Amino acid sequence: MAVRCLIVDDDDGFADVARDLLRREQIDVVGVAADSARALRLMVSARPDVMLIDVNLGDESGFDLVEEITGVDGRPILILISTYRLDDYIDLPVPGAAAFVRKSDLSGTTIRRILVDAGQRPG
């Protein structure tokens, strides 16, 4: 079974490129959301294994979305993504997020490694 992924990013261009890249690397992209409300709806309906959440969602914060999802039972693995380094934002790891990945380093291999590190069996 393929890894099911939900991309949460308000940059349509990046979301399209990421979706195409991940699909070529056998990651099943089950949806794309540009804001927290849609991301939460898709999380429930599409049941992804992993969510890639951009740190900066326009007027919203990916950190806030991670915090909101963290308490949800059966939640997917949460991976923060950004064009910037994590330490450009904060000095400490983000509770609830399994990892932080720069957008330029995103790949199916990276996602599978993070799932293994988080104790999940990738598809």
DSSP secondary structure, 31-87, as one string: EEESSHHHHHHHHHHH--SEEEEESEETTEEHHHHHHHHHTSTTPPEEEEEESS-GG
pLDDT tens, per residue, the chain with 123 residues: 589 999 999 999 999 999 999 999 999 999 999 999 999 999 999 999 999 999 999 899 998 999 999 888 889 999 999 987 666 655 446 778 898 899 999 999 999 999 998 887 665
Inter-residue contact 23 to 72 (CB < 8 Å): no
Measured distance CA(84)–CA(101) in Å, rounded? 9
Tokens standing for residue 107: 């790949």
The reply to whether the predicted model has a pTM over 0.85 is: yes
